[in-house]
Each structure stands twice: as C-alpha cells, then as structure tokens.
C-alpha cells in the first residue's frame, strides 16, 4: 500500500515505487519525481486499498468518505465522475482526464495505454439533468476531429452507468 498526501485539493505521492507502479498502470501524471492523482483516481485507489491518504496539514489519515467530502466541496460533480471512472476501470480500461467540450475522460482500449492514443472520448450525462444538443454536437465534432469515437455515459438515479455511442449528427433541413 502506498502513501498519498492531500493538500488543498491536490493528491500526490512521492514514493518512487508508487510513482512508477501507478503511472505504468495509467494512474495520475508525473510532475518531476511526484505523481499527481486526479480526485476520482485517488478515491478509486483508496477504495481498493492500494493507497492511504494523509492530510498534509494535520497528519490525519483520511477515510474514503472524509476524502470524498473534501473533494466534493471543490467539485459537486465528483461523485458522478467517480462512478463512471470506477465502472470503466472495473471493466479493465485505462481512463485519463478529458479535455473540455463536455468530454470528461479519454479511454484507452485494454493493453494499449502507453502504446497508442486513446480510442474513445467519454461524455457524461446525469439522468434528469438537462443538457443542450449543442453541447453534444460540439463533443461529437471534437471526437471526429481527433479521430476518436464518442461514448455517452449516462448515470441513472441508482448510480448505474449506461453507455451509448454517438457516431453522427444529421441536421434536418
């Protein structure tokens, strides 16, 4: 089990073994000799018992719920992001942060992380929350422009994730 530090919303580890092992498996991103974890990655690793998280200011070890509460105060959509991230990781995918336009994640096919670019882009919808067709169209344009497939992840009221593929946008004239 590796030690990670929580400080003002940022989660990091400097343990060389952790940096190498976790980065090789697609977790976080390196900044010099430090591995910086996204909030959903840290929650996943904590839930799986692969890391311990310690508050940098107090030295207190944070439970899953305590870390979630702190991180959710900074991002109210964190729970939805975590549910999608966890579901995709459990299916064996490497999941990296998206790059705007509503694209939450980049998804690597099994065995391709570090060898090939991501193949899919994940767009998140929370059941019952309104979205605009324009935002979906924008995400599809980004996916097509980068040669990737757009996957829509819908999180229902029970926290289950359902996936849909969006391949084209046809405008009625």
What global pTM score does this model have?
0.91
- What span, in angstroms and rounded, lies between the C-alpha atoms of 155 and 134? 20
pLDDT of 113 reads 87
* Domain assignments of the chain as residue spans, ordered by start: 2-72, 78-166
- Collect the ranges in the chain with pLDDT lower than 70: 169-173
Per CATH, which fold does 2-72 belong to?
A: MutS, DNA mismatch repair protein, domain I (3.40.1170)
Nearest 5 degrees, angle CA 76-CA 79-CA 85?
Answer: 130
**Top-level class of domain 78-166:** alpha beta
């Amino acid at each position: 089990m590796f030690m990670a530090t929580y400080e003002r919303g940022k989660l990091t580890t400097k343990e060389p073994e952790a940096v190498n092992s976790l980065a090789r498996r697609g977790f976080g991103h390196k900044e010099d000799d430090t591995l910086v974890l996204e909030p959903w990655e840290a929650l996943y690793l904590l839930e799986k018992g692969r890391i311990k998280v310690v508050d940098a200011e107090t030295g207190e070890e944070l439970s899953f719920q305590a870390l979630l509460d702190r991180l959710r105060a900074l991002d109210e959509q964190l729970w939805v992001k975590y549910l999608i991230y966890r579901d995709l990781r459990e299916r064996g995918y490497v999941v990296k942060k998206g790059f705007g336009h509503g694209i939450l994640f980049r998804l690597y096919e099994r065995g391709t992380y570090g060898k090939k670019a991501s193949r899919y882009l994940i767009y998140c919808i929370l059941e019952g929350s309104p979205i605009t067709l324009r935002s979906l169209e924008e995400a599809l344009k980004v996916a097509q422009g980068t040669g990737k497939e757009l996957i829509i992840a819908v999180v229902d009221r029970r926290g289950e994730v359902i996936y849909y593929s969006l391949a084209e946008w046809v405008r009625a004239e």
